[in-house]
Amino acid sequence: MLNTSIIGYPRIGGNRELKFWTESYFKGGISADELLTNAKQLRYAQWKKQQTSGIDIIPSGDFSFYDGILDAAALLGAVPSRYRELGLGELDTCFAMAKGYQSGSGDVKALSMRKWFNTNYHYIVPEIEDDTALSVVGSKPFDEFDEAKSQGILTKPVIAGAFTFLKLAKFTGKKSAADYAGRIADAYGEILARFAKSGAEWIQFDEPVLVTDLTKDDIAMFTQVYTAILGKKGTLKILLQTYFGDIRDCYRDVVNLPFDGIGLDFVEGRETAALVSRHGFPDDKTLFAGVVNGKNIWRNDYAKTLKILAGVRDKAKSVAVSTSCSLLHVPYSVSVETRLNAEVSKRFAFAEEKLGELVEIAKIADDENYSANPAFVANAALHAGSGQNSDPAVQKRVSALTAGDYARLPARPIRAEAQKAALNLPPLPTTTIGSFPQTARVRQNRANFKSGKITYEEYQANLRGFFAECVKLQEEIGLDLLVHGEFERNDMVEFFGENLSGFLFTKLAWVQSYGTRCVKPPIVFSDVKRASPITVEVSRYAQSLTEKPVKGMLTGPITILNWSFPREDISAKETATQIALAIRDEVLDLEAAGIRVIQIDEAALREKLPLRKSDRHSEYLDWAIPAFRLTHSGAKPETQIHTHMCYSEFQDIIREIDGMDADVISFEASRSSLAILGAIKASGFETATGPGVYDIHSPRVPSEREITEALNAILQSVKPDKLWVNPDCGLKTRGNEETVPSLKNLVAAARAVRGKIGT
């Protein structure tokens, strides 16, 4: 029978226990010993679950208190001196690198954090200084392997691969990744020796960087590092694990190296099956076929999977069935969920259910008479029932769309004139991104309503009070374009999901985003439609309180889709188009209600940008950008459309962002402004821009002078008639204490600079 294997398991605990323990430890609520003991019990329960589910090759070392790349840095002694000097133990040093450290003995900022490939998980970026030794100094993976072994479970240790580690690290001195190739190979050789001694059979090295665009130098470095590491493998079996795509740039290099197993992703790897069939697979290795999706929440379609496996077994003598990536990216278990009814939950497989799927698939794949196998029959029946999630009216509307629906007329410069006349704003207008501080009163109001302590009418009356205060506050501060404050929303995606049909919500389906932070994405379950206006009443009310324009505030279709679990029976493009039509209806209703400026946030536009440059257009941008245009192409010329994006790293898609055809865009720029401003200047960016002039992620109050300087610097790249003045993101996580003085300084700076540019 085929062996079953998983790449990694979630670690936050089915009820986010690890999050609560860790946060309690941070606050001094529990001791380090308690934290370690609790975590040990959690690991044991999870190994046991995998074992009783029938998984053959169970991972260890996939557990982490914060992040696996950070753990690898600690293991290899890649700890910058400013953290070493704090003199903390292994665990606290990791936490200091992850979150920063402030106490009597030191004040150090956190290492930076980056998006983990095309997921919503984030890793800590290791920093390597010129004097970093890169040798094995930590013990976490060895301890966890021994721990499992002493509990009677022989695991497969999982460690970030040497190549991926070097590629993701930041080199802060003169040296570069290539300078460390020899040293890191020695360190990994030592890791192998330690595991061989402890009695491991398989060890897994994760190398997701292999699915990205690689240069010849990258492949040469990969080959050099692994030739050296594999020379030291002894009797250990080495599994090279890839995920999040296919390894088209290096397939032959990889299979020619003496690995014992190679893990390939057949779900996101568009070319994986073709690579195997074209180039074959060596007889002396096991192909770990990633056929159970580690990112989605839907039940596997066994008929499809068996077909893939049959193709693989044609070429590869030894095959194991595996997940496509770590199960870290899915929630724990459907079985404990209380907010989904049985009719829908039978369609879902979270981490625990996916274990069962792997075991069933392995069994069925060796069953001559599989079409009569009850597990197969049940699965086929489940998938035969598709189509019931569709709404003919929505489908008809989507299929009736024509090219004209995606183009707003007249052209942007002509609209700009119309808007200037209609809005009468000063040059360098000031505004905010939408949300104002969610104070204790705001949260209490929501909690009171949810628990039934106050009626819907009382809840709404309180909200109106908050909106009125917020409008008054903005007028006092002197902002030019106002917002209502978003006090009715707790999350920008959840709020719209709850008000559109087609979404499902869970109670417990949490997924780790970074460290102790988890998200609970909505599920797109059926065709999406707007039943009635969502934000119109609130916007109309806020606008009635002031002469100044108040922005209508919407979340864009790509962000709603990217922060949800998507459907798979229809394409992402189709779902995005459906959501876009719903948002379009809202835009038109806001406009009809007298709202003159509408912001459609696309905070997560970059989230699912394909990893390979060559796939970006055909697989994503070619429908994502038009979906955004569809939301506002029906607006009148004098209605001003704003958008907002959070990631400043978008210089490489700057033209596409301009192609969203918004009138104004605001974005985060306070931390890495230069690259994006350079790109704006060089690309002849047409959209008016509000590069964030201060960082709202910190409680610091920026001075008027600082903001003035930032504006003067920005004016080197953005023409004065195209420049807006705003913070870099919404203010909801901040307090009023710092928000009010910060915004006052922002307004004062804008006025000072306005005076100087003489308009």
Residues serving a catalytic function are 697
Comparing CB distances to ligand GLN, the nearer of 268 and 728 is 728
Comparing CB distances to ligand GLN, the nearer of 604 and 710 is 604
Least distance CB 726 / ligand GLN (angstroms): 10
Comparing CB distances to Zn ion, the nearer of 20 and 495 is 495
Three state DSSP letters for 532-570? CCCCHHHHHHHHHCCCCCEEEEEECHHHHHHCCECCCCC
Mark residues 467-496: x for contact with ligand GLN by CB under 6 A, - for none.
Answer: -------------------x-----x----
Comparing CB distances to Zn ion, the nearer of 602 and 663 is 602
Nearest to 241 by CA among 191, 290, 168: 290
What DSSP string describes 375-428? HHHHHHHHHHTTTTT--HHHHHHHHT--GGGG--SS-HHHHHHHHHHHH-PPSS
Segment 671-730, which members bind ligand GLN (CB under 6 A)?
Answer: 729-730
With CB under 5 A as the contact rule, which of the stretches 5-13, 109-117, 560-568, 642-650 interacts with Zn ion?
642-650
Does 729 bind Zn ion (CB under 5 A)? Our answer is: yes
Q: Pairing relation of β-strands 59-60 and 3-5?
A: unpaired
Residue 435 interacts, among ligand GLN, Zn ion, none and using kind-specific CB cut-offs from 5 to 8 Å, with: ligand GLN
Least distance CB 709 / ligand GLN (angstroms): 25
Does 646 bind ligand GLN (CB under 6 A)? Our answer is: yes
Comparing CB distances to ligand GLN, the nearer of 226 and 487 is 487
Least distance CB 532 / Zn ion (angstroms): 28
Does 598 bind ligand GLN (CB under 6 A)? Our answer is: no
Chain position whose Cβ is nearest to ligand GLN: 730
Nearest to 680 by CA among 667, 696, 697, 698: 667
Comparing CB distances to Zn ion, the nearer of 603 and 662 is 603
Nearest to 191 by CA among 149, 148, 157, 144: 157
Q: Pairing relation of β-strands 318-323 and 286-292?
A: parallel
Give the C-alpha distances (Å, rounded to integers) separating 218 from 116, 175, 212, 222, 251: 19, 16, 11, 6, 13
Helix (H, G, I), strand (E, B) or coil at 725: strand
Least distance CB 668 / ligand GLN (angstroms): 8
Burial class (CB within 10 angstroms; exposed 0-12, middle 13-18, buried 19+) of 131 = exposed
Segment 166-225, which members bind Zn ion (CB under 5 A)?
Answer: none
Burial class (CB within 10 angstroms; exposed 0-12, middle 13-18, buried 19+) of 149 = middle
Residue 434 interacts, among ligand GLN, Zn ion, none and using kind-specific CB cut-offs from 5 to 8 Å, with: ligand GLN
Least distance CB 23 / Zn ion (angstroms): 24
Least distance CB 473 / ligand GLN (angstroms): 15
Comparing CB distances to ligand GLN, the nearer of 285 and 644 is 644
Nearest to 211 by CA among 178, 179, 248: 248
- Residue 578 identity (one-letter amino acid): Q
- From CA 754, how far away is CA 308, in angstroms rounded? 63
Comparing CB distances to ligand GLN, the nearer of 126 and 437 is 437
Residue 362 interacts, among Zn ion, ligand GLN, none and using kind-specific CB cut-offs from 5 to 8 Å, with: none
Least distance CB 615 / ligand GLN (angstroms): 26
608 token code pair: 């699912």
Segment 517-556, which members bind ligand GLN (CB under 6 A)?
Answer: 553
- From CA 558, how far away is CA 607, in angstroms rounded? 9
Nearest to 645 by CA among 696, 691, 681, 700: 691
Nearest to 303 by CA among 389, 358, 383: 383
With CB under 5 A as the contact rule, which of the stretches 81-89, 249-257, 563-571, 601-609 interacts with Zn ion?
601-609
**Selected binder of Zn ion within 646, 662, 677, 743 (CB under 5 A):** 646
Radius of gyration over every alpha carbon of the chain, rounded to an integer in angstroms: 27
Residues in the chain: 759
Residue 601 interacts, among Zn ion, ligand GLN, none and using kind-specific CB cut-offs from 5 to 8 Å, with: ligand GLN
Does 434 bind ligand GLN (CB under 6 A)? Our answer is: yes
**Selected binder of ligand GLN within 596, 644, 734, 754 (CB under 6 A):** 644
- Cβ atoms of 550 and 436 closer than 8 Å: no
Least distance CB 555 / Zn ion (angstroms): 11
Residue 542 interacts, among Zn ion, ligand GLN, none and using kind-specific CB cut-offs from 5 to 8 Å, with: none
Least distance CB 553 / ligand GLN (angstroms): 6
- Cβ atoms of 261 and 282 closer than 8 Å: no
Helix (H, G, I), strand (E, B) or coil at 694: coil
- From CA 589, how far away is CA 602, in angstroms rounded? 20
Does 359 bind ligand GLN (CB under 6 A)? Our answer is: no
Least distance CB 433 / Zn ion (angstroms): 6
Comparing CB distances to Zn ion, the nearer of 479 and 603 is 603
**Tokens 């769309």 identify what position?**
401
Does 435 bind ligand GLN (CB under 6 A)? Our answer is: yes
Does 603 bind ligand GLN (CB under 6 A)? Our answer is: yes
Comparing CB distances to ligand GLN, the nearer of 16 and 551 is 551
Count of residues near ligand GLN by CB under 6 A: 13
**Selected binder of ligand GLN within 140, 484, 551, 732 (CB under 6 A):** 732
Q: By the criterion CB under 6 A, which residues form the site for ligand GLN?
A: 433-435, 486, 492, 553, 601, 603, 644, 646, 729-730, 732
Q: By the criterion CB under 5 A, which residues form the site for Zn ion?
A: 603, 646, 729
